[in-house]
Amino acid sequence: MTLPPNPEALLQAMQAIVGPTGCLSAAADTEPFVTDYRRIYHGKSPLVVLPATTEQVSQVMAWCYAHDVPVVPQGGNTSLMGGAVPDDSGTAIVISLKRMNRVLAIDTVNDTMTLEAGVTLSAARAAAEDSRRLFPLRIGSEGSCQIGGNLSTNAGGTAVLRYGNMRDLVLGIEVVLPDGRIFSSLKGLRKDNTGYDLKHLFVGAEGTLGIITGAVLKLMPQPRATSVAFVAVQNPDAAVKLLGEARALSGQAVTAFELISAPALDLVLGYLGDVPSPLEGRHDWMVLIELTSGTDEESLNATLMQILEAGLEQQWVVDAAVASSLADVQQFWRIREEISDAQTRTGGSIKCDVSVPLSRVAPFIEQASAAVLALEPATRMVIYGHMGDGNVHFNPLRPAERDAKDFLAQWYKPVSDLVDGLAHAENGSISAEHGIGVAKRDDLTKYKSAVELELMWQVKRALDPKNLLNPGRVLPRID
Amino acid sequence: MTLPPNPEALLQAMQAIVGPTGCLSAAADTEPFVTDYRRIYHGKSPLVVLPATTEQVSQVMAWCYAHDVPVVPQGGNTSLMGGAVPDDSGTAIVISLKRMNRVLAIDTVNDTMTLEAGVTLSAARAAAEDSRRLFPLRIGSEGSCQIGGNLSTNAGGTAVLRYGNMRDLVLGIEVVLPDGRIFSSLKGLRKDNTGYDLKHLFVGAEGTLGIITGAVLKLMPQPRATSVAFVAVQNPDAAVKLLGEARALSGQAVTAFELISAPALDLVLGYLGDVPSPLEGRHDWMVLIELTSGTDEESLNATLMQILEAGLEQQWVVDAAVASSLADVQQFWRIREEISDAQTRTGGSIKCDVSVPLSRVAPFIEQASAAVLALEPATRMVIYGHMGDGNVHFNPLRPAERDAKDFLAQWYKPVSDLVDGLAHAENGSISAEHGIGVAKRDDLTKYKSAVELELMWQVKRALDPKNLLNPGRVLPRID
């Protein structure tokens, strides 16, 4: 067992590396780093270290390795799974990357951007835009989350259908290993078959194998045209069919295809207050469709109309509102994007972030909804998300009159187990984009084979033999 | 040191697992499995085993692990780097996946295809086509190469610009580990963040970490329209600029952008005999551009004309031939695709498969050409390939009157070292798509950091502690 290091020695050693302003040890200063932003996970840490360079991260890690000090790497601290805050043992220091926030280079011929890991997603997007390029990752926390965290969690969001997950958007990385060695491969190559592609080990590892300190990311052409519609559909099966038709008719123009259930729309409109529904009347199921293209607006709009007409003809589409201005586009998206905050404000949401093959989305929603409603009939079935990726945020919400804490105490565990189990039975995932952290760590023993868990540990032990990096996260204990 | 097992015991054990017809031990039978198709690498093996199921692969591996028998996994045996044939120690058996050639399932809603690793690429493409889908990987060896080999080498080819490498086209895999355990994750999910994404360890590992036995691959919509042009450009810099313009004007329609130098065209036209150049007169540099889209032919042709006109106006384009029939399209592509065979037939090619950032392609070609011509002025600069990916097949060819063997004996090593060194200096790759095998293994010590090589070995030792899988391939010896 590792004993906490002498706090004075630790502080002195870290100050010698990062300077006095790079160390936070007062409880009031460390508080924002040891509690997640939803205030669900509360940890303890003697010290938060804020290195300014990769070299400093390396020195910090080398010292910690020599002294058996566990380290929790932290980006924007927006994990939903408790993956970025320390546990309550008080043994681990936090390394925050927030001072490493420089965009180092943009190459508009190679369409790449090189940056430090602490750049926020919104700053990265803005830097790309300044060079008339698109960095396509789009998630709700973009103002706070950082590129290093986006990589470590393989972030997804609302543009994955067109552009892929974060893993698909990275060409090169720089990583500090648990013993302080620096693995630097900041290359902007589309093709490089020279041995193991090590970056994929660190992407999605949630900081358990190394600390990502820099990256080379892909840039895309900015779309010249955007067409958006808010569409009432018959049911999820009709939505899947509509997506198939949209792809067939538009090539790769479908950028987002987001499902929204009636209770999700009710909730978010109640939360926003001043925003009307884009559609008249109430509909059980809706989708937000976004097409983008590099060509003209007119032909893209024509394609969207073609898709909607085909959908009406097949009776998949019940009604549709097409955005006729940028203000409409923003309003439609605001409705979609504020669902998450509306849930947080309301309280009493059971958050299941599952994915299944697209061909199984509709039956999955039907089965899982029926199963939840059989347990608690007045539950509001807030179901929404990235249907185009087979990824549904399936978030049963407490009945309106029910106390949030009571509801969660009674149902969180049985309902999420039920929903995860049904997704798993469809050859699906129990965490499509939110990761594992500590929240779902022990569930993995139910849903992964023994061989897969052994392999994860073989890799972990090979790279972090002292188990110092983000200990207790991602990997469940196995025999 | 591992001694060769008693041949009788080995044969009996293997026959008990795969049946007598699944074992080849006569020299005449094993010959095609121990020599690569270019007849450069000649190895020895006491036995070629042809399992018919994943379970059999598992049993074979478990036996070999227990008896310290090295194993070389083999797909279509089309490696250019000696990666798929055993060394000449005669200790390793070959496991050929060719009997595992079933397409197991196609899901046209999820757009995925599940298959065994021994399915040839052309069979996989045909199965997709039968379901009116596209499996987009396109490489010259498609009739022989197998999906397992394509994954193990992260195959690239002429459609990477649009669709990515093999790594980008796989969603799930099944692998037999060195000790015989089966890691099965045949999931068709676009999003799954539940721990380490282990499939990326095996993709591109050239069979050194496990034997891929099955996969779930992505399918794409079939393009409805194709427009192709054969274009003379001012120089490589003009070609890069033309590509930028093509992408800006067409969105993601640019599917292929292949560079061809004058000596490459001369060579292939001489080889084909009956095929005329698509262009009048002789030009120093040409590109083959292919656009595809899901919409109509007419608007795609209009886009291609727009690109060519912009290119002419900027004086990047000197002349252009637009394919006006399917026969033209096939003829243009035939010219591009037969360059490789034309080189093989002629003999005396120094094959460098390098990539650099797109912004450095033109200066790289200029520098590297000048350096080679300074050594041997009459060398024919056969330069062609996937410029859109920054990937150039830079293949200096012997002077016409020079003997092939002499030329290679004198220049292969110095010229490839020179070219690789220049690519590396541009932050490029010494093997963009062909992999490492044994041919480039020891070069890695020059071009990879000590940390990167150590990491590769940490992973190798963790997964294959007895170093039994494809030993002596990919990983250079380090201290």
Q: Which CATH class is domain B103-221?
A: alpha beta
Angle among Cα A470, A476, A478 to the nearest 5 degrees reads 130
Name the DSSP class of A166: G
Share of chain A above pLDDT 90, in %: 94
User: C-alpha dihedral over B255, A166, A390, B121, to 10 degrees?
Assistant: 40
Q: How does pLDDT run across A409-437, given as a tens digit for each residue?
A: 999 999 999 999 999 999 999 999 999 99
What residue spans define the domains of chain A? 7-96, 103-221, 225-339, 347-425, 441-479
The chain-wide mean pLDDT, for chain B, equals 96
Contacts of A107 in chain B (CB under 8 A): 357, 359
Task: State which fold the A225-339 domain adopts.
Answer: Alpha-Beta Plaits (3.30.70)
Reported confidence tier of residue A269, pLDDT bands at 50, 70, 90: very high
Residues from chain B contacting residue A221 (CB–CB below 8 Å): 247-248, 251
Check CB contact under 8 Å for A429 and B221: no
Tell me how far apart the 2 most distant CA atoms of chain A are, in Å.
Answer: 73
Q: Once rounded to an integer, what is the mean pLDDT over residues A140-148?
A: 96
Mean pLDDT, residues A464-470: 98
Contact partners, residue A227, CB within 8 Å, separation at least 6: A290, A291, A292, A297, A300, A301, A303, A304, A322, A323
Q: Return d(Cα B189, Cα A423) in angstroms, integer.
A: 11
B180 DSSP assignment:
S
- pLDDT tens-digit readout, B450-477: 999 999 999 999 999 999 999 999 999 8
- Of all residues in chain A, the one with the smallest CA distance to B178 is A455
pLDDT class for A1, splitting at 50, 70, 90? very low
CB contact at 8 A, A174 and A55: no
Read off the pLDDT band of B1 (50, 70, 90).
very low
Q: Are strands A211-218 and A23-24 parallel, antiparallel or unpaired?
A: unpaired
Record: fold of A7-96: 3.30.43
Task: Determine, for residues A436 and B193 on separate chains, whether the beta-carbon distance falls below 8 Å.
Answer: yes
pTM: 0.97
ipTM (interface predicted TM): 0.96
Residue entry with tokens 């450069």: B40
Is residue B113 within 8 A of residue B135, CB to CB? The reply is yes
Do the Cβ atoms of A447 and A424 come closer than 8 Å?
yes
The answer to whether the CB atoms of B177 and A451 lie below 8 A apart is: yes
Tens digit of pLDDT for each residue in A180-233?
999 999 999 999 999 999 999 999 999 999 999 999 999 999 998 999 999 999
Interface check for B433 against chain A (CB to CB < 8 A): the answer is yes
Chain A touched by B430 (CB under 8 Å): yes
**Is A67 in contact with A17 (CB distance < 8 Å)?**
no
**Rg of chain B's alpha carbons, rounded to an integer?**
23
Q: Measured between CA atoms, how close is A431 to chain B, in angstroms?
A: 6
pLDDT at res. B249: 87
> In 3D, which of A112, A136, A125, A133 has the Cα closest to residue A187?
A112
Length of chain A counted residue by residue: 479
Same fold across B7-96 and B225-339? no
pLDDT over 60 (residue B2): no
Give the chain B residue nearest A162 (alpha carbons): B252
- The answer to whether B463 contacts A455, with C-beta atoms less than 8 Å apart, is yes
Q: Please write the tens of the pLDDT for every residue from A299-314.
A: 899 999 999 999 999 9
Please name the member of B193, B357, B428 whose beta carbon is closest to the beta carbon of A434: B193
Mutate to test the interface with A, among B170, B194, B295 (most CBs of A within 10 A): B194
Give me the pLDDT at residue A296, please. Answer: 82
CB-CB neighbors (< 8 A) of B244 in chain A = 109
Tokens 């050929």 — which residue? Answer: B96
Residue A389: which pLDDT band, with cuts at 50, 70 and 90?
very high
Mean pLDDT of A334-340: 96
B408 touches chain A (CB under 8 A): no
Mean pLDDT for A150-171 is 96
- Give the residue-averaged pLDDT of B174-192: 98
Per CATH, which fold does B347-425 belong to? Alpha-Beta Plaits (3.30.70)
The burial class, CB within 10 Å (0-12 / 13-18 / 19+), for B456 is buried
How far apart are the C-alpha atoms of A235 and A285, rounded to whole Å?
6
Stretch 21-60 of chain A: residues touching chain B, C-beta under 8 Å: none
pLDDT band at B296 (very low <50, low <70, confident <90, very high): confident
Transcribe B60-89 into DSSP letters.
HHHHHHHTT--EEEESS---SSS-SS--TT
B351 contacts B393 by C-beta, under 8 angstroms: yes
Give dist(CA B385, CA B343) in Å, integer: 14
Torsion sign across C-alpha atoms A22, A27, A28, A33: positive
Is A406 a residue whose pLDDT tops 90?
yes
Sign (positive or negative) of CA dihedral A386, A390, A395, A399: positive
DSSP A206-256: TTSS-EEEEEEEE-EEPPSEEEEEEEEESSHHHHHHHHHHHHHHHTT-EEE
| The pair of three-digit structure tokens given for residue B342, joined into one six-digit string | 């034309």
User: Taking residues B70-95, what's their average pLDDT?
Assistant: 96
What is the band of A478 on the pLDDT scale with cuts at 50, 70, 90? confident
User: pLDDT higher for B187 or A6?
Assistant: B187
Average pLDDT, chain A: 96
